[in-house]
Structures are given as structure tokens and as C-alpha cells.
Amino acid sequence: MQEVTEIYNARVAAAFAIRQGDILVSIHCGSRGLGHQIGTEFLKRMVMVAADYGIVLPDRELACAPINSPVGRAYLGAMRAAINCALANRQVITHLVRQVFAEVLPQARLPLLYDVSHNTCKVEEHVVDGKRRRLFVHRKGATRAFGPGHPDLPPALRAVGQPVLIGGTMGTASYILAGTEEGMSLSFGSACHGAGRSMSRHQALKQWKGREVVDDLARRGILIRSPSLRGVAEEAPGAYKDVSAVADVADQSKLAHKVARLEPLICIKG
């Protein structure tokens, strides 16, 4: 749960139905389960068949295959199944959150701003060298950020661009931005989806204890609820880059424009 503490673009914020002082609920699901498993398994399969298609891999992490090959089609099918699973999972979580609010704060309204997946591959049309082409756009550590007027956006958002959600840590701000026309040509309508880690989970466990993180955030008025203190230590705020600097770069580079800043109040980890 986060409070809107600053509005940068009043017109777009109004279109998003966001006002300063609002309390918002942000839901983020990672891919350490199904998505990670699919990536790991197809990485191995693509490494094994790369030579069959004349592909030389400078690094096995760059393993790939022609999109219409058997392994390429199988990967697309598995990835799309994972996206469907993620969408359904967030719908279930959203429903449960609304049920809780209905019991505790029945006057609260929780309309959905936007639901978007990251770490995916989507078939899209973009202009390349002056020509419109059908592309498979892979976004890793990134999210779609279509600009104003894009036909794939819902009518209510089409005039201002797609919401871009840059999540912070348990102890830092998050940001809501909007896609731009410039970003369509600069990055195929893409922006970052978070600050990104500055150290691995393993390193974070060496540097922080979960209880210390919980107590430190409590002193700042931020409540943490988690079944695992190890998970809290892995996600310690200090293990991530400066999310405000990341949001500023996205804004200044015109990949997405800042709309609102959110400050954390309560964080519940699954």
C-alpha cells in the first residue's frame, strides 16, 4: 500500500484517476517459479540446437532459435501459457485484496489502473527504417510503454499513453509514468519496470538480516508482513538501485514521462 505524495503531470494523473493523498495498492508478481523454469529449460534446448541453424553464441545466456523452428514455436507456446498464468494469478490476488478491503474499509474503491506483464515476448508492429514491420519484441527487465494514440491502448487511456509502473523497494518510492510518442521510435514503446538490483540475493543475505530490515522500516512508519525473514533480507532496500534516479532517466530520455510518486506504507510479501 502506497500514498501518492507528488503529482508531476496533472492532466495525465486525472486521466489515470490519481490524486495527491490517494492510497494505492500495487501488486507485483515475480517469475522465480514458472517463468524461471521455462526460461531455464528452453535455454538448454536452444543451446543444443543453435549450431543446426548456423547460430554462433558468444555466451550461452544469449541462446536463441528461429521463431518458426520446432523449439522456437514450443518456447512461444510455453511463454504464452506462463503469461496467461500470470494474468490469472494477478486477477485472483486483486479479487482477494478487494475482499479484504470490503471487510475492513467497505467505503474504499479499488478500480484497476493497469495490469501489465514484463519479461515477455509480444508480437507487435513498429516502424523500422521508415517501414512498418511485424516484430517479436522481447522485454527483459522492461515493460511495454505505448505512447498516446496507440490503437492497442484502451479508449480511456489512448489520449495520454500507457501507464508505466516502476516499482520501488519495501522502503523506497515507486513511480507511475506514461508512455510517450518518442519512446515508440527510441525503444519500440518500452521502458524499465523497476530500479533493478545492485547486488544479488546471495550478497544481500550476507549484508542484512530480515529482522533488522523489518525493524528499521518500522521506525520509518513502514509495516512489513512476510512469512519469511530470509525473503525480507533478500529484498532489502539497499540491494537495489536508486529508483528515483531510474525514473528521472526514463523521464529525461523521453521513454516515459513521470506522472506520480508513491511512498510505501505497508508491504506484504507472499
User: Whose grid coordinates read 509480444?
Assistant: 122
Q: Are strands 223-225 and 266-268 parallel, antiparallel or unpaired?
A: parallel
Residue 174's H or E segment, with its range, is strand 174-179
Residue 52's H or E segment, with its range, is none
Clarify whether 202 is annotated catalytic.
Answer: no
Nearest to 113 by CA among 78, 160, 53: 160
- DSSP designation for 258: E
Specify burial of residue 259 (Cβ count, 10 A radius: 0-12, 13-18, 19+): buried
Q: Which of 36, 193, 202, 257 is catalytic?
A: 193
Quote the CA–CA distance of 72 and 79 in Å, as a whole number. 11
For the beta sheet containing 2-7, the strands, ordered from the edge strand earlier in sequence to the opposite edge, are: 23-24, 2-7, 256-264, 174-179, 163-166
Residue 205's H or E segment, with its range, is helix 201-207
Q: Which three cell numbers stand for residue 34?
A: 514458472
Please say whether the beta carbons of 196 and 207 come within 8 A: no
The catalytic residues are 193
